[in-house]
Structure 1
Amino acid sequence: MGRQLWRQTWPMAIGALALLSFQLVDSAFVARLGTEPLAAQSFTFPLSFLIIGVQVGLGIAIAALISRALGAREQERAGRLGSLVLLIGSVTIGSLVILLWWLQAPIFRLLGADADTLALIRDYWAPQLVAAWLGALLYFGYSLFRAHGNTRLPGKLMVVTSLINLLLDPLLIFGWGEWQGLGLPGAAWASVIAFACGLTIVVFTLRGKHWLTWQGLKQEARQSAKAVLGIAGPAMISQLMPPLAAMLAISVVAGLGQAEVAAWGLVTRLETLSLVVVLAMTMSLPPWLGRCYGSGDWAQIGRLMRLAAKVVVVWQLVLGVLMALLAPWVAGGLSGNPEIRDDLALLIRFLLPSYALLGLCMLVVSAGNALGWPLRAMLMSGARLFIFYLPCLWSGAYLGGLEGLAIGAGTGNALAGLAAWQLYRSVTDKKVAAQANKKATVRADPSRGG
């Protein structure tokens, strides 16, 4: 089982590492432009996370519904569900992108951006929204492959798109020869080109598969609308909570100063990179859990979750402690500005070790959507942010400035992880015990096995 979990997870881990590395590299290149451009980019992160939250919620629906259909041997229905969710996803993300462009000025002012920062954001935001839409379409394609048990192609394509972005970033940001480059918008245009290349490969690959069925789509939409909304709705709400929390968090950080905003932007990029194994597992594990759920194998579900939890906690704890010890050097490599560097090192020391339990919470929320309790997963996601993380972060900032904010955020992450695992145990232990009792009863009296 451990080897099979590793085979399913490692391609996504490598791909996610490459994808998240290029996001961190983006910010590292932008940091070379100065504090103001990096702060401007940092203000856009919560809204970028908002788009990602919607796409991940729909991606969860794709993986969960298709894997359940495949577990029940309903191949044609799996094709219709894939087509249905891909169509809904492309239209939904497109509409959201248009809305965020239209409302950009009042939103960024509300987050604390001043007039000079708004001018920098305006030039960057248009290509960044185009990149977000293309990235969402690419993610939906990845979700379709994962639902069918293929994690290698998404992993490879994440690496390819990351390399394309890495090569284009310095060229488009800083220029070449006499050409001065595009500055901050160059980072967004590099992502546009990289995602467009990856999407082209996905489209041509899907042409050789039989995973999409357009016949009977209207009827399937009517029959499955409740199931799609039942998973995608709570999942999207769960995924939209982090962007909302990120907006509230950056508004708190903005009150501390522009250098603090820039450092916070870098540590949020580093956060997603350091959680790469967790993120990969939340992508590779749910389809497997969905198939076990479809076949009613709760004992296997329990074994899978215990193994995944051990991997997440041990890996993140070792990585977090190591990064805390190396914080001054890591911060120096990401930013040459001494003020940003010192603030970033402080944030790394207190936040990175707490991701061991944050990763556990993320694993439970992801599993909940595959195991038929999306509402509990949504509530746990909300509790993590609005009961544990934000109150601790705000209290820490109020009492101790940036250092207090870092301590508070780390404490909130730890409390959320412990609460999430307790919730998971309370739900699944009963299921495993009931299934074991049923099997024992059938062995004792075969006539009662149905």
Structure 2
Amino acid sequence: MAIGVLALLGFQLVDSAFIARLGTAPLAAQSFTFPLSFLIIGIQVGLGIAIAALISRALGAGQEARARRLGSLVLLIGTATIALLALLLWAIQAPVFRLLGADAATRELIRGYWAPQLLAAWLGAALYFGYSLFRAHGNTRLPGTLMVVTSLVNLVLAPLLIFGIGPWEGLGLPGAAWATVAAFGVGLAVLGRHLGHTDWLSREGLGQEMRESARPFAGIAGPAMVSQLMPPLAAMLAITAVASLGEAAVAAWGLASRLETLSLMVVLAMTMSLPPWLGRCYGAGDWDQVHRLLRLALRVIVVWQLGLGLLMALAAPWVALALSGNPEVRDDLATLIRFLLPSYAALGVCMIVVSAGNALGWPLRAMLMSAARLFLFYLPCLWLGAYLGGLPGLAAGAAAGNLLAGLAAWRVLRRILASPRRRASREAKPAVSP
């Protein structure tokens, strides 16, 4: 999964680097779309968490027929939900981007890009739900492989569609989205073929299963989606502060956002691969194994992210040079890298705690932890930093917010891990599905 996440996020960063070659205005236009793209991703990840949790718990309890029914239901409901959301975001694009601070010229650039980007988001969500189904059944190899394949397809097509070849001029900014559409289409075709050779889906008893599983599914998916939707909301609020610092700052922030997700590849891979394992332990009542898994995961995350963050902070000027040709954007990006990348060790701790909470029957606790990270620590520190010190202050404030959130999550998890096994079982009981 780490290899797949690296490939998937890597091509998104490469897309942004290609778009940066078009100029600061197209890069800023793409950056304004990130909060709404994260909104779609937040909902699909929340649904994916519920998919993996319920199916892995059913498998852990030996309920294979129920796992097949759940697989069919969540694929149908998930794709329909994201399609409706994409249509809504297309309809309200003008007032939303105006509210985010995009001027008329930037909104015109966004308009040509937004329709294919929403199509790509829907295809990506359908692909993600398929990945969740495979992960719930313990197969991480195919999702990881397909992430690499789709990334390579996008990597080949993006420069051709953005810049053109020979006498063909290319599509500019929309070309990046159309390349992603093609890449995700290839991934869905391959995934569908493999899914057809499994017995993980069922057409029988779906109505009854929907009635029985609606409450436990909502009990996980609801708080998980709220947790996942809070980052896009925070991103919208953050970009309004960044927009006040100028177009170059917005462009640099967009590149830093891509770099953030890429640098968190191990954390993201663990949040995808660890919950199904935890869910099976949950279904089997093996809480000793749960404790061992979480302790190991946190050690790996802190060591990896801190080492990577310090290395990237030292190499910040060269990384910024590789990603942007504009000197002003390059300087702002280097500043963001120096402050933010080392702080992702603490952010990773918080992400693992939230992911584990959703898998182990503590969705409300996970949601509150997400809310505290963003609205109690991250945004207040970011706004205060921007007010006091411009872009360097904003970067330092965001880093401080990540550090405070990580420390708070660590304290919450220590209390959970220190609890007796019977207390953990008692807390988890209400979330057991019928």
TM-score, with length taken from structure 2: 0.97
Counterpart residue type for residue 299 of structure 2: K
Counterpart residue type for residue 216 of structure 2: A
Counterpart secondary structure, 1:424: helix
Match 2:196 to one of 199, 207, 213: 207
Residues 292-337 of structure 1: per-residue CA shift (max 9 Å, x gap):
1111111111110000000000000000000000000000000011
Aligned-residue identity in percent: 75
Match 1:405 to one of 394, 397, 408: 394
Q: How does 1:276-355 map to 2 (within 5 A)?
A: 276-355=265-344
Structure 1 stretch displaced more, 418-427 or 110-119 = 418-427
RMSD after superposition: 1.0
Counterpart secondary structure, 2:204: coil
Unaligned stretches of 5+ in structure 2?
426-434
Shift of residue 50 of structure 1? 0.3
Larger Rg: 1
Check if 1:383 corresponds to 2:341: no
Rounded to whole Å, the distance in 2 between the matches of 1:117 and 1:301 is 49
Equivalent residue number for residue 441 of structure 1: none
- When residues 368 and 99 of structure 1 are mapped into structure 2, their CA distance, relative to the original with a 3 A threshold, is same
Equivalent residue number for residue 227 of structure 1: 216
Counterpart secondary structure, 2:419: helix
Equivalent residue number for residue 237 of structure 1: 226
Residues 257-299 of structure 1: per-residue CA shift (max 9 Å, x gap):
0000000000000000000000000000000001111111111
Equivalent residue number for residue 172 of structure 1: 161
Match 1:52 to one of 41, 45, 53: 41
Check if 1:127 corresponds to 2:116: yes
Match 2:349 to one of 360, 384, 390: 360
Match 2:245 to one of 248, 256, 278: 256
Rounded to whole Å, the distance in 1 between the matches of 2:64 and 2:410 is 34
Structure 1 stretch displaced more, 420-429 or 179-188 = 420-429
- When residues 319 and 435 of structure 1 are mapped into structure 2, their CA distance, relative to the original with a 3 A threshold, is closer
Counterpart secondary structure, 1:383: helix
Rounded to whole Å, the distance in 1 between the matches of 2:75 and 2:5 is 21
- When residues 88 and 431 of structure 1 are mapped into structure 2, their CA distance, relative to the original with a 3 A threshold, is farther
1:302/1:432 contact within 8 Å kept: no
Equivalent residue number for residue 65 of structure 1: 54
- When residues 434 and 231 of structure 1 are mapped into structure 2, their CA distance, relative to the original with a 3 A threshold, is closer
1:298/1:431 contact within 8 Å kept: no
Counterpart residue type for residue 323 of structure 1: M
Counterpart residue type for residue 148 of structure 1: H
Counterpart residue type for residue 69 of structure 2: R
Runs of 4+ in 1 over 4 A off after TM superposition: 433-436
Rounded to whole Å, the distance in 1 between the matches of 2:51 and 2:135 is 9
Match 1:101 to one of 90, 93, 111: 90
Counterpart residue type for residue 119 of structure 1: E
Equivalent residue number for residue 26 of structure 1: 15
Residues 32-53 of structure 1: per-residue CA shift (max 9 Å, x gap):
0000000000000000000000
Shift of residue 433 of structure 1? 6.8
Rounded to whole Å, the distance in 2 between the matches of 1:432 and 1:172 is 56
1:55/1:93 contact within 8 Å kept: yes
Counterpart secondary structure, 1:372: coil
Counterpart secondary structure, 1:14: helix
Residues 97-127 of structure 1: per-residue CA shift (max 9 Å, x gap):
0000000000000000000000000000000
2:68/2:199 contact within 8 Å kept: yes
Count residues with an aligned counterpart: 425
Residues 62-100 of structure 1: per-residue CA shift (max 9 Å, x gap):
100000000000000000111111111011000000000
Counterpart secondary structure, 1:176: coil
Match 1:162 to one of 130, 146, 151: 151
Equivalent residue number for residue 133 of structure 2: 144
Equivalent residue number for residue 247 of structure 1: 236
